[in-house]
A and B are shown apart, each in its own frame.
Chain A
Amino acid sequence: MTTPTKPARPTLREHIERLVDPGSFVPTQHFSDARDQVMDQSGEYDGGEATIEGRPVTVGLSGHIVMRALNRRHPYIAISSGTGGLARGGRRNLGVLDTVWGMSGGPMLAEMASRHRDVPVVSAIVHHSFGDSSFFTGMSDYVVQLKGACMALTGPRVLAIGTSEQVTMEELGGTDVHRRNGQADTIAETLDEVYAAIRGFLSFLPSAAGEPLPVTEPVGGPGSQAGRSLDNGQEYGAGELIDGLFDGGSFFELRRGFAPSLVTGLARLDGIPVGVLASDPSVDEGYYSADACLKATRLICTCDAFGLPLVFVVDSPGPRAEQGSVISRAMMLAQAVQLAEVPKCWVITGQARGAGLLVTGPARIATDLVIAWPGARAGFDESGSSDADEHHWAADGVASPAGTRRTLVTHLRAVLGASPVSRPGRILRTWPVGF
């Protein structure tokens, strides 16, 4: 175990220039309200417009210019590399109103709270972040945290003074904490990984809800290749299944290390961006924990809001009953699946029981597809099970492992059309952003 070294601290401008397309950054010359003008004199505040892979984005310190992105309908990237507004406000002897209202970026938070996921919002924690810098992550669709940086409501110093609790930055809000509780979608070892993660995440999403899906050209012929081939009669872990179903190297995992019995992320199917939820029978038999339900629900909401189809790969015995009560979390997940309006595909590779069943069970709409592998079994528990190949339950068809990818691609091409525009759902976009 090496002690994490103190992260090097590039300026905000340097972060931005390393993140966006070279030469594309245009700094915002003036900020829209008086508070920002005061703050800007510190030199800490920076931000403006740029492009990533040719698509416009707004980048700023925490959330301070998020309104520009919301109004222009393109992604916002918050780089959080500072302390909270409390210390800033206090140092500047702002009035009572400003220290309360301004410290939390009040108007910004209120706008964010009713954003309805109209544009993608990303937070990067590249240095210790407390107060408004950390608050903003709780409203973001994606959070990447740099190893060595701390993310917490408030810092160890305030804790020590206010509550006498002595903790290090790592213990309070380091990457290990947020890997385990799922508040960081990606943990990055280096700054370059942070920038690559932001670019990677945004590459799957439309610039705003309702804009075209960023479908990439199929690579190498009529259909891009999966990362591996799948054979009959083999048992696969989630990683192998994902490699076998989606475009080679396209999988972008989210919240790795949090509820690992369910692997979630974004990927491409013949160039089409999709959300992936794959149970991993090699971890805790693929059981759904309460945390797994939270993990799944966040991704379903994000995909539904931005029009990305969902692909569930199911091999799970259901909810983990001994974890106290999971009823509400399992029902929340079932509700999210039911209320999602994007095309949904299920691949039942093994057993689908309990919560696994809830995810496959709800009434389907015309754009949905259920594929069972030979020998797949479904039922609430052992007593209620039946074989897929007996056609006792409502799979649309049985597909061989090798043929599954083709079936999925054909289906999605058919329901999305030639140049797919994202069709956001109407309900889940207003659901909580963080789970």
Chain B
Amino acid sequence: MTTPLTDGTGQAEVSDEIRTVQRLRELREHVTTQMGGPEAVAAIHAAGRRTAREHIAEFVDHGSFGEIGTFATFVEKVTAPTPGPYGGGIIGGHATLDGRPVTVAVDDDSVTAPARRSTGKAARLYQMALQQRRPYIEILQGDAVPDLGSRPGKTGTESARTFGAEPAFPYLLERQRAIPVVSMVLGDTSGASSFSAGLCDFLVQLEGTRLSLARPAAAGAEAAAGANGSGTLPVTVASGEVDAVVGSPDEAYAVTRRFLSYLPSYAGGPLPVTDADVPLGYDDKIAQLVPARRSRAYDMKAVIRRICDDGSFFELKPSYARNVVTGFGRLAGIPVGVLANAPMRMAGGLTPECCLKAVSFVCMCDAFGIPLLVLQDTPGFLVSAQAERDRAIVRVMTLLQALSLITVPAVSVVIRKAFGLAFVILDGNRAVDLSLAWPGAEIGFMDPPVAANVLFEPQIKQLPEEERAAFLAAKAAELGVGFEPYGVATNLTIDEIIEPGETRSVVAGYLRASLASRPPRTAPSPLASWPRWY
């Protein structure tokens, strides 16, 4: 690829200009092949892993990588043609992913731990991504210790950009989701390398890796406790922080490409609309997926897949709080965030964890202008002593707060049942701009049999034992009539009752019109600044 060096005179002696370019080439060749030294690189390969540069080569569009900060280093002074190791503990630069510009920063684990992340290079790369308004992606595989002893400056230990006037650490703290940030954990990670995991939009973790804030030595014996130790997948998945678990680096690259394919390159940027010509015809199969009896379970994801464009549904956090489903899809090519109850799990009842999952997802969608599609089939918030201990009140109210602050177009469809405060929050508080219901939907303040029991307790107590069941059933049926969607349609609590088969075309039509008619957002959404997980 390299252009041969010649000054065109054909003479054996080369000019000074050529010599300086030659020197650069030699240095660059040396730096990029040596990295932290042949032994360190060999050790990475022996462990079956990839170096930082190999990750980048495999991940981004072929030949698109333009490196930044190749010669950043933490040694005090460049005194010889082959000082090193170069790179500053981070290999990074600009590239394209599926043709779209991105910036990548990868932990260089071929250098020793204290050297990593001490030149402020990740901060520099993030700053460039922010200025250029394109996604910023980190690959985490290091136990990096922020060097508090260093002073701010340009390069080198004495002047590393760390804590201080121009700090390395806070570069993501003020991000407020201005650009998408992805963190892929592809090796054991702690310290400064772990920070972006708590601040990103999409967190991917490779099986067998550890992700923890404290270094294993500092974390103590627990970190070495094996499969369920601090930062291992069972822990990070159970905490809800990981969005996608992958079995290989290639899979990590793939899910990251997939994730970014639904997002604009920056908050406020145009949505990546594809295949606008996909058919939106009547779906005569979708109604059969949903049993009429409210106690029968069914797979909500099958419903989502039929509403979305073929093959477009991409689920996030599939193993966490499975009573709600969150993920991206497309409708007529328009990216949407889908938030749905899952009647397969606890009848679709909502736990405090479900609220957390939903809030986190809604914040991301709103920050990036991705329309929301809410599919409801829930008996409400699951009440129990455990839920109260888990801060149910605060979690539920935070979900209400989040949905009340959304600025994106949002459509809600009551698929089957929607009771109580859950309906109020997901729909009835006018957070969504279009409220739809299927004709078989039941909407009310509580599951009718329970409601009858609670409301008519005094009357029930006065009845002889043998008459109570019939009385309750009659009262429940009475209440049930009032729960038909035609009741809430009379006063526009539901904007329209639609046929299940029309769902796709009605929602897609609404979203198309929204994109065409809504003025561009002038101020960022308040939710853009909310923490990724609280």
A219 within 8 A of B: no
Task: Kindly list 13 other residue pairs between chains A and B, CB separation below 8 angstroms, not including A97-B493, A135-B397, A325-B231.
Answer: A103-B424, A138-B396, A161-B453, A171-B385, A321-B222, A321-B223, A331-B173, A332-B531, A334-B173, A335-B174, A363-B165, A430-B529, A434-B395
**Complex interface: chain A residues within 8 A of B534 (CB):** 294, 297, 328-329, 332, 432, 435
Q: Given that A114-B405, A330-B198 are known contacts, is A153 also in contact with B381, CB under 8 Å in the complex?
A: yes
Q: Is the interface of A mostly helix, strand, loop or mixed?
A: helix
**Complex interface: chain A residues within 8 A of B402 (CB):** 432
**Complex interface: chain A residues within 8 A of B404 (CB):** 110, 113-114
Tell me whether B533 and A329 are in contact (CB under 8 A): yes
Tell me whether A392 and B149 are in contact (CB under 8 A): yes
Closest to A110 in B: B429
A-B Cβ contacts below 8 A, count: 297
Nearest CB on B from A183, distance (A): 6
Tell me whether A394 and B383 are in contact (CB under 8 A): no
Given the complex of chains A and B, what is the CA–CA distance between A399 and B198 in angstroms?
34
A187 within 8 A of B: no
**Complex interface: chain A residues within 8 A of B174 (CB):** 335, 338-339
Tell me whether A100 and B443 are in contact (CB under 8 A): yes
Task: Indicate which residue in A103, A157, A324 contacts B230 across the interface (CB closer than 8 Å).
Answer: A324
Nearest CB on B from A110, distance (A): 5
**Complex interface: chain A residues within 8 A of B198 (CB):** 327-332
A-B contact pairs, 13 of them (CB 8 A): A95-B487, A100-B444, A104-B421, A113-B400, A135-B393, A138-B394, A183-B391, A327-B213, A328-B197, A332-B531, A393-B149, A434-B394, A434-B398
Tell me whether A153 and B396 are in contact (CB under 8 A): yes
Tell me whether B219 and A339 are in contact (CB under 8 A): no
Given the complex of chains A and B, what is the CA–CA distance between A384 and B530 in angstroms?
31
B148 within 8 A of A: yes
Given the complex of chains A and B, what is the CA–CA distance between A334 and B225 in angstroms?
28
**Complex interface: chain A residues within 8 A of B385 (CB):** 159, 165, 167, 171-172, 177
B145 within 8 A of A: yes
* B residues neighboring A (CB under 8 Å): 114, 145-149, 163-167, 169-170, 173-174, 176, 191-192, 194-195, 197-199, 211-215, 217-220, 222-223, 230-231, 235-236, 238-239, 241, 359, 381-385, 387-398, 400-405, 420-421, 423-424, 428-431, 443-447, 450-451, 453-455, 457, 482-483, 487-488, 491, 493, 526-527, 529-534
Tell me whether A427 and B176 are in contact (CB under 8 A): yes
Task: Indicate which residue in A91, A183, A328, A430 contacts B531 across the interface (CB closer than 8 Å).
Answer: A328
Given the complex of chains A and B, what is the CA–CA distance between A171 and B198 in angstroms?
34
- Selected interface stretch from A199-207, A210-218, A220-228, A353-361: A353-361
* A residues neighboring B (CB under 8 Å): 86-87, 89-91, 95-97, 99-101, 103-104, 106, 109-110, 113-114, 116, 134-135, 137-139, 151-154, 157-159, 161-163, 165, 167, 171-173, 177, 180-183, 294, 297, 318-319, 321-322, 324-332, 334-336, 338-339, 354-355, 357-358, 361-363, 378-386, 392-394, 427-428, 430-435
**Complex interface: chain B residues within 8 A of A427 (CB):** 176, 529
Closest to B173 in A: A338
* Residue from B149, B167, B450 with most neighbouring chain A CB atoms (10 Å): B149
Given the complex of chains A and B, what is the CA–CA distance between A302 and B140 in angstroms?
34
Q: Given that A91-B455, A331-B195, A331-B531 are known contacts, is A325 also in contact with B236, CB under 8 Å in the complex?
A: yes
Nearest CB on B from A373, distance (A): 17
Tell me whether A355 and B529 are in contact (CB under 8 A): no
Tell me whether B405 and A100 are in contact (CB under 8 A): no
Nearest CB on A from B135, distance (A): 19
**Complex interface: chain B residues within 8 A of A339 (CB):** 173-174, 529
Tell me whether B213 and A355 are in contact (CB under 8 A): yes
Given the complex of chains A and B, what is the CA–CA distance between A392 and B147 in angstroms?
11
Closest to B219 in A: A321
Tell me whether A163 and B384 are in contact (CB under 8 A): yes
Closest to B483 in A: A96
**Complex interface: chain A residues within 8 A of B166 (CB):** 363
Task: Indicate which residue in B146, B173, B214, B428 contacts A100 across the interface (CB closer than 8 Å).
Answer: B428
Q: Given that A335-B531, A393-B148 are known contacts, is A159 also in contact with B384, CB under 8 Å in the complex?
A: yes
**Complex interface: chain A residues within 8 A of B241 (CB):** 325, 327-328
Task: Indicate which residue in A97, A172, A430 contacts B491 across the interface (CB closer than 8 Å).
Answer: A97
Given the complex of chains A and B, what is the CA–CA distance between A171 and B220 in angstroms?
36
Closest to A333 in B: B531
* Residue from B170, B217, B394, B529 with most neighbouring chain A CB atoms (10 Å): B394
**Complex interface: chain B residues within 8 A of A87 (CB):** 454-455
**Complex interface: chain B residues within 8 A of A135 (CB):** 393, 396-397, 421
Given the complex of chains A and B, what is the CA–CA distance between A28 and B228 in angstroms?
59
Tell me whether A177 and B384 are in contact (CB under 8 A): no
Task: Indicate which residue in A153, A163, A325 contacts B388 across the interface (CB closer than 8 Å).
Answer: A153
Q: Given that A183-B394, A319-B214 are known contacts, is A153 also in contact with B428, CB under 8 Å in the complex?
A: no
Nearest CB on A from B245, distance (A): 14
